Structure 1
Amino acid sequence: MTTPELGTDTPGLTVRCQENRAVSVRFRDRFSFDADSVHYAVELEAPGLTARNDEIVAWIWDRDLPSFLEELTAEFRRWDGERVWHTDNHDLTVAAVFRAGGHIGLTWTLRPWVRASGGWSASVTTVLEAGEQLSSLAADLRHFLAAEAR
């Protein structure tokens, strides 16, 4: 389930787990230096965990996250295994698994400084309904990434 963050200086989007509302992924602080990329922050929260990467980059020539989610939505039948999307430098990865009852488990992993010694990673899993909730998330993310930088 997604919730736009209204009334803030910078538009944002929160994805909450349907099974545990204390688990969330937040997209915020979107900005752009040029027409080729969009930069934004992603925060993961769960009981006992808070992680943030301030510099996720989406390039216009990459397969974007909303398109990945739209492809999952189009798969109205169950699939086997895991489907994975990641940013060009792998600092944000989303792994999708079809679950019983028409739900999708999305595991969001932040891994900044992938090649750096002492790097870290953090993950949370949100569970969403495979139809309308996943479709809404894709649309909301597309709107967030396309919004005019402030």
Structure 2
Amino acid sequence: MTSPDGDLEDQPAVTIRCQDDPAVAVTFRDRFSFDRDSVHYAVEARAPGLSARVDEVVAWIWDSDLAGFLEELAADNRGWDGERTWHTADRDLAVCAVFRSGGHIGLTWTLRPWQGTAGDWSASVTTWLEAGEQMASLASGIRQFLA
């Protein structure tokens, strides 16, 4: 399930909770922009025993769009074979989508900052959502967040 959130300062945020285990979640927050060409934001992943955050993920206007990727998944709610993937230009955020019977989509969110540097790390969580309305709601929420 997805929900628009607001923190104490009423900043925009979107949280994706796994319908199978609500303790597993991904939150987009702390959006800001230096110019008209990009939007910067933080992504947090949580699961039992895991809490990870990547600051300054960048969405460039000329890159493939996360909201567009999610909208395509929502539109293809009858399913597909294999995996569909998306990632930022810097590859610090990646999403892998799979379809399972019963009309559910698994989104594996991978956070991987500082690639190629000493001390780099990665963390992944998987959220399961209904293929129709929940995916459409997520796509809409992300589009509004990144606007």
1:4 aligns to what?
4
5+ unaligned residues in a row in structure 1: which ranges? none
1:142 aligns to what?
143
Residue 29 to residue 7, structure 1, CA distance change in 2 (3 Å): closer
2:68 aligns to what?
67
Secondary structure of 2:3's counterpart equals strand
TM-score w.r.t. length of structure 2: 0.96
Secondary structure of 2:139's counterpart equals helix
- Aligned-pair identity in percent equals 68
Aligned pairs for 1:103-114 (under 5 A) are 103-114=104-115
Q: Measure the CA separation in 2 of the matches of 1:61 and 1:114.
A: 22
5+ unaligned residues in a row in structure 2: which ranges? none
- After superposing the two structures, state which structure 1 stretch, 3-12 or 121-130, moved more: 3-12
Kindly tell me the number of residue pairs found equivalent between the two proteins. 146
**Contact between 2:7 and 2:13, CA under 8 Å: does it hold in 1?**
no
1:42-62 Cα distance to aligned partner (Å, 9 max, x none): 000000000000110000001
Secondary structure of 1:89's counterpart equals coil
- Aligned-pair CA distance for 1:7: 5.6
2:43 aligns to what?
42
What amino acid sits opposite 1:67 in the alignment?
A: G
- Aligned-pair CA distance for 1:8: 3.2
Q: Measure the CA separation in 2 of the matches of 1:83 and 1:89.
A: 18
Q: Measure the CA separation in 2 of the matches of 1:114 and 1:13.
A: 25
Aligned pairs for 1:53-64 (under 5 A) are 53-64=54-65
Aligned pairs for 1:52-131 (under 5 A) are 52-131=53-132
Secondary structure of 1:101's counterpart equals coil
